[in-house]
Chains A and B, each alone.
Chain A
């Protein structure tokens, strides 16, 4: 993602380059000559500085081919000719200016390239690199191929290639292969070669990691060895002597290949107004008279690629006669980029600003149907539902997720469930999120006691974007279910008639009292100023009494489940104190009783006595003693339930209950979490039941 961002910045900067770049004209002289291995025996001013060139160039790029045909040049890559020619070149440079070498020279066997720059301007060049590619014998030898020099000048990158491509009159496919080879294999510099630095110079390249610049200008010169096809020697020479060069040009293989886009893509060549530079009898201007009697050809060429390059002249130099080729030269006036740093910075800031704008526009955006969800009148074990609609109003698909708050592991309170908790919404689409509240025995006690409330904040996180806070709230209607025995025995009115404030008072009073009872003597009376507590919670009494009156003979009592809806009505009836008669079937009442006992925050046999009870359950006397230690109200409930169970057993003929099953029920009722002890526990329970 980040690199695509970087690329975008680079691309934008490049696109707007002209906004912050000035062009400064530089005069570039390029020359190419296949010297056919001849010694540097004549002056070359005629080529490098002909009389008509009044203005000195800023840069010289001079290429030789077949500089040295000796075996030494092949095998030991050393050449005696090199120095001679180099001296000749230096003598022939334009006299009106002083020059410094950019690189002394690059040579591969017979191909040599020298680059000079006007004194003073050498301070403006950097990152000079050179490279060679052999495409000759076995595809690597240097008798054919190319040499190149590239360097940065101000804010442009220049590259000069001198190549000697393979010759073949008929099979003119061959030079193309060479061209492609050089293209892909040309390496520059003395750096370690890694992929991105394997820079084929003829296409654009980023030569270094911190530059945006293309290799802005490439000039390719050399003996490219393209010939004339489909024309015989005589016809050719006739056209030449008639001066009908444009006509002859139609037979030129390079022109044909370029127009067919087979080679030198994106390269340009100026109009040729000089006669073919090949092949002459050395020392003369006479066409080849040797046995082979070659058809003349424009072997020696200069092409370029890049913008802001203007060709001032393109010519051959007949005065240089020592080779079977005539030298060719061209002068370019090219605009070298000079970046205005202040303007560039402005453009850069612009680009970044635009990018920020886009990035912000493309951030995920949603609208929610509400930021506050209120649940009304939440009751124990009664599910309430609300829907939150999340709409994708942004321009990109949104992935949302509810995430936990700091130091939480779940993203919401245990009484709340949210479905789905994460999803993807496509642009313009909506997603319904279902929220439901359900208070059970785990969450009921603290809600009843007022320690907890129906209050939560959901953090709706958009992947890669902002967060929204959704507030969830509601009122919980306290219930006798999930209230403690101690609280219930101090509650003389139905739960719903007790004001919330005083309810909390009762709860806290009961907890502190309970503590007192447990630590001091259980027999001692609690606070004398208060009404004495009830013996057992009235709700338990009502449930048991109902069963006692209407259920003793009921087949499958406690075995057949009740109806959830009826249990909810029974809950309301117990909490509101009316109607007098409990609604629903006896099965529902029986299950309500079990549920009531199950959801007690502190079981009938309190947790702290539990292990002891298990321990003594085989011993009747000890069991009785332990029982004495239970808080009064708990002991009362225990006795009461046991009495009821005994009653039930008396009717076992009709209700088909046995002690074991009831014992299990009784125990499971409030100790379901400790099933490991079940077998012993129910044994004990039966024993205890028997005891009363």
Chain B
């Protein structure tokens, strides 16, 4: 029958929701949990307990055309839990590797994490490097340019952040959300489980749009 008329049906902003698994890695006390706390709840704790396990939270980021829902795994940075990290970066579509700009060792450790991710994680994983505690500029030990050059070499997103002042915290997650592929095909590969996947070695990376 008839079907005419000039205008398009208006779209809501909520037309497409994509779901991604994101993991935070980095040495203990660099501020992984603090970044997540800032991003998810807008809070900062001067005394933040060291993570013994892997914390799980979700947070949504609204882009122009899509909505990205992050399933965030905040891992334990203490070295003795290192061997457990693959449980969390396996199948992740995004990772934030965090170091503390006031501590050169943590930057070295971050590089090791990046290398491990490049070798062991999904080949398409989007990696962001976060130089945290940027508010402590007077104690700086890692130069911005050095980290930036490293990030560029390895095609990482890079930002200096501060969980304390909130500087660049939303921005780094937003930048990741933008960089993640949101094609339809990726959506179909999505397995809806959010927990730890024990069965698969390297899941095909890709978004989880529906």
Contact = CB atoms under 8 A, between A and B. Distances in A.
Contacts of B195: 461, 463-465
A210 B12 contact: yes
B2 A106 contact: yes
B134 interface: no
B9 A363 contact: no
B90 to A, nearest CB: 8
B12 A344 contact: yes
Interface residues of A, number: 62
A467 interface: yes
B62 interface: yes
Interface in B80-134: 80-81, 83-84, 86-87, 90
B2 A129 contact: yes
A210 to B, nearest CB: 6
Contacts of A212: 12
Interface string A418-447: 000000000000000000000000000000
A637 interface: no
A352 interface: yes
A124 B67 CA distance: 27
Interface string A209-234: 01110000000000000000000000
Interface size class of B (residues with CB under 8 A): 35 or more
Interface in A307-353: 339, 341, 344-345, 348-349, 352-353
A471 B53 CA distance: 10
Interface of B: 1-15, 17, 40-41, 52-60, 62, 67, 76, 80-81, 83-84, 86-87, 90, 192, 194-196, 198, 210
A339 B9 CA distance: 12
A545 interface: no
Interface in A637-666: none
A355 interface: yes
Contacts of B60: 352-353, 355-356
Interface stretch (A250-258, A285-293, A402-410, A589-597): A402-410
A450 interface: no
Interface in A1-37: 1-2, 6, 9-10, 13
B7 A152 contact: yes
A123 B7 contact: yes
A126 B192 contact: no
A102 interface: yes
Nearest to A10: B14
A127 interface: yes
Interface SS of chain B:
loop
Contacts of B87: 405-406, 459, 467
Given A405-B84, A465-B56, A123 B6 contact: yes
Contacts of A363: 56-57
Contacts of A2: 192, 210
Given A403-B198, A406-B87, A464-B195, A9 B5 contact: no
A468 B5 contact: no
Contacts of A374: none
Given A345-B62, A464-B194, A469-B53, A339 B10 contact: yes
A371 B83 CA distance: 18
8 contacts: A127-B3, A130-B1, A154-B10, A348-B13, A349-B62, A406-B90, A457-B84, A467-B87
A129 B1 contact: yes
A2 B194 CA distance: 12
A354 to B, nearest CB: 10
B7 A124 contact: yes
A103 interface: yes
Contact of B1 (A126, A131, A341, A469): A131
A2 B53 CA distance: 27
Interface in A489-509: none
Given A2-B192, A406-B86, A103 B4 contact: yes
Contacts of A356: 40, 58-60
Contacts of B62: 345, 348-349, 352
B2 A103 contact: yes
Given A13-B14, A459-B84, A403 B4 contact: no
A371 B52 contact: yes
Contacts of A155: 10
Contacts of A467: 53-54, 56, 87, 196
Contact of B3 (A189, A371, A404): A189
A433 to B, nearest CB: 16
A210 B56 contact: no
Given A359-B58, A468-B53, A126 B40 contact: no
A333 B79 CA distance: 71
A208 interface: yes
